[in-house]
Amino acid sequence: MAIFFGGEKVEAVLFSPLQGKLTFEGQPASGAKINLWIKWKDSEGEIFSYTADEDGIFSIPEHTATYKQSAIAQLVIVQKITIEYGNNVYEIWNLSKMEPEIFTELGGTPINVVCELTDDLTTIRGQGSLGGVACKWNLLEK
């Protein structure tokens, strides 16, 4: 019976921490409003808002939750980031991840993150993730 009603409780990283710089046409997107939407347990999801500083620098903390693993259900976490800047809204992040570990959506720990608001989303594939971003980064060497 336990197989149908959930198994072991596991902590999932719904969104790995991300720090970087927002730019608009190569210049800092000073004061840009960052909206992070995370959907994983219901159709509404949750929205978290942050603001870039005068140099376009932003920081989004790690978001976690506990869930029960199930043999008949797959964990799917949808992440979307939109930026409100200069009377426009820009989508810079639209990813889905299926692994609960940190940084699995990015393929490792990102450094030197720069997100250009005018760039198109580029497809990325991580360990159990797929989507598009308008950000570029290097991975921290282990």
Supply the DSSP symbol for 73. Answer: B
Render 96-122 in DSSP notation, one character per residue. Answer: EE---STTTTTTS-EEEEEEETTSPPE
Give the per-residue pLDDT at 142. Answer: 59
- As a whole number of angstroms, the distance between CA 80 and CA 132 comes to 10
- CATH class of the domain comprising 9-137: mainly beta
User: Does residue 27 have a pLDDT over 80?
Assistant: yes
* The amino acid at 18: L
- The pTM of this model reads 0.90
Domain boundaries, the chain: 9-137
Token pair of 135 as six digits? 């950000």
Per-residue pLDDT, 70: 77
**Which pLDDT score, from 0 to 100, does residue 2 have?**
45
Q: Which residue has the tokens 């949750």?
A: 46
Instruction: Indicate whether 1 pLDDT > 50.
Output: no
At 30, list the tokens.
């000073």
Higher pLDDT, 41 or 28: 28
The conformation of residue 47, written as its DSSP 8-state character, comes to: E
Q: Kindly indicate the confidence band of residue 3, based on its pLDDT and cuts at 50, 70 and 90.
A: very low
Question: What's the rounded Cα separation, in Å, for the pair 111 and 96?
Answer: 21
* List of residues 6+ apart from 123 with CB closer than 8 A: 130, 131, 132
Q: pLDDT tens for residues 113-124?
A: 999 999 999 998
